[in-house]
Amino acid sequence: MWQLLQQTAAAVQAVRAGRSLTSQIEAVPKDLRPGVQSLAFQVMRQLGRAIALREQLASKAPPPAADALLCTALALCWQDAAAPYPVHTLVNQAVEAARQQRTTHAQSGFINACLRRFMREREALVAQTDANPQAVWNHPMWWIERLQAEYPAQWQSLLTMAQLPPPMSLRVDPRHHSVAQYQAQLLALGLPAKAVGATGLQLDKAVPVHQLPGFAEGHVSVQDAAAQVAAPLLLQGREADQPWRILDACAAPGGKTAHLLACYPQARVLALDVDASRCQRIDQNLQRLGVQAEVRTADAAQPASWWDGESFDAILLDAPCTASGIVRRHPDVRWLRRPTDSAQLGQIQAQLLKALWPLLAPGGRLLYCTCSVFRSEGDEIVQAFLQRNTHAQLLPSPGHLIPGHAPTGLPVMDNALGEHDGFYYALLEKDRA
């Protein structure tokens, strides 16, 4: 276990230094990776409490590697019911982890003393941190304050939902099965699921994808219910079997690209992403599903470098954002983001809208979306765009989809999304004149 704790603490240290947890876990030896991922996710969801406890135990932070290991242990053992192993075992193994590596060996006695004191005084120390909002909600203070300002009636439920593991949602390919047929297949394998959205299923319990029948053959894809809104909403009310020319402007990893092709089988889809390695993931996903699109590595904000001059009937702009709506799936996001990130990303989002709007044919539609709950990456961007573009009309749209709340304005009204990520959707149409 001490090796797992070493690797987990290294991942925590990397996140606190501004590096993605995903990339850190990918670098962990394969035999340790599943355990490290499980522990690291738990630590990320309890890091606010752990930092507050460490501040009670030692007002001056130890060196980064030792601090990360100490906070990792505190995050995992501050609650008996949630601890992945017995608390005394976690403490012993955390001290052993400190002793076994050069970067923390000198602080092993300090870590031992802090954790032994924590075990003796745990109830009192935890009670002292209950007055710290960052400890209670396990998000940075600026994040908590922003949600309080933007969602005065919902901020607590948003933060509570962010602490829960996300559901595993699937999108069924209707070329192979109806939702009911695939649901029956899952149930026969002991995997109950409920229908969500138009072609989705939400599993009662997440499983590895290789356990999903027909996954390798493209019968089903893993896609959150909120993300499944995009493709059917884009050309809602228009004939699906027309040769629409569609741009998926920020397409990786390709889930929405594939969904566009499922909804509009005659469409000519151009999928862009600025990262060549991420374009390879788009290709891999499309190949598994047996569909084709033109995939190109390019910056959507620089059309002069890739656009051939032919207008698009529809554009899907899933813009870069803080990912504040998918913090359940990526619990490191809350610790990676800074208060200024939303405004900086908002500028990029506005630039993308400005660059892509001229590429849209008269009467065409552009669906702007982000996986963020912050209004500076949703409503505020779209309202500012509409003020500058009088030939753009905002069609009925879901707006901000908030986890834990029943959404409105969906393309399919008779089937709720169940538990879903935070998203924003605005459907814009260009005047024909």
Q: Select from 85, 160, 73 the least CA-distant residue to 122.
A: 73
Rounded Cα distance between 9 and 72, Å, is 6
Please list the alpha-helical segments (H only) found in 100-154: 102-105, 108-129, 133-137, 141-150
User: Could you tell me the two tokens for 301?
Assistant: 């904000």
Rounded Cα distance between 120 and 250, Å, is 52
Longest dimension (CA), the chain: 75
CB count within 10 Å of CB 393 equals 13
User: Could you tell me the two tokens for 377?
Assistant: 């990456």
Determine the length of the chain: 433
Cα torsion through 233, 239, 244, 247, rounded to 10: 0
Phi, psi of 151 (to 5 degrees): -135, 70
Three-state DSSP class for residue 258: helix
424-293-368 Cα angle (round to 5): 15
Q: What is the H or E stretch that residue 377 is in?
A: none
Phi, psi of 369 (to 5 degrees): -145, 155
Query: What angle in degrees, to the nearest 10, is found between the helix axes of 87-99 and 108-129?
Result: 140
Q: Tokens 């996903």 identify what position? A: 285
Which of 71, 263, 369, 371 is labelled catalytic? 371
The answer for 323, left when phi > 0, alpha when psi is -120 to 50, beta otherwise, is: left
Rounded Cα distance between 377 and 419, Å, is 22
Rounded Cα distance between 91 and 76, Å, is 10
Q: Select from 76, 86, 73, 77 the least CA-distant residue to 112.
A: 73
Q: Is 321 designated active site?
A: no
Rounded Cα distance between 255 and 31, Å, is 29
The residues assigned a catalytic role are 371
